[in-house]
Amino acid sequence: MVCATPTIPTPRSGGFALYLSSLGSRAMPDYKSIDVQQIGPVTVVKPSLDRIVHHDAIQAISDDLMELVATEAVNNLVLSLKRVSRYSSEAIGGLIRVEKQLRAKGGQMKLCMDDDLRELFRIASLDGTLFEIFDSESDAVAAFFEHGRDVL
């Protein structure tokens, strides 16, 4: 019996968005400070706050992200900061801890954000070094499928 291997369209091909939608999505457990959606093998996370500058907010988001990575089968994580208008350097420290936890289990995190917030990551020399940063969630999700990376 011969089984055909499914062809996965490349992110730059016209069929990639349709392919992603065919994977379906599922809701994840409720967290206090983050919204979580599973899109095929990629977990997309959005903070529920638009300003992440106060210690309590930073701690809540960091705790939820660490719990998500520790308790769920999360290896491919996109953190969307598109609706975040203010972000502190303390919060970046939390992201570094989450990235280390993901890498320890063979995973990876990609970020997406607007240019104003991205400048903070550029100043800290984190754009392109520790974090891959994208302009949109769809570009960040697609990056897991590029260059032959098998996320399934």
The pTM is what? 0.77
Q: Among residues 54, 64, 114, which one has the least CA distance to residue 88?
A: 54
Write down the pLDDT at residue 19.
53
- The token duo for 72 is 């769920």
Calpha distance 11→19 (Å, rounded)? 9
Amino acid at residue number 12: R
Contact 121/131 with Cβ under 8 angstroms?
A: yes
Q: Among residues 128, 74, 78, 140, which one has the least CA distance to residue 101?
A: 74
Write down the pLDDT at residue 24.
52
Q: How confident is the model at residue 1 (pLDDT cuts 50, 70, 90)?
A: very low
Per-residue model confidence as pLDDT tens digits over 108-125: 999 999 998 898 888 888
Residue 139 burial (CB count, 10 A) = 16
Residue 26 burial (CB count, 10 A) = 10
Residue of higher predicted confidence among 102 and 73: 102
Residue located via tokens 């990639």: 16
34 φ/ψ angles, rounded to the nearest 5 degrees: -135, 150
Q: Lowest mean pLDDT: which of 28-32, 54-58, 78-82, 94-98?
A: 28-32
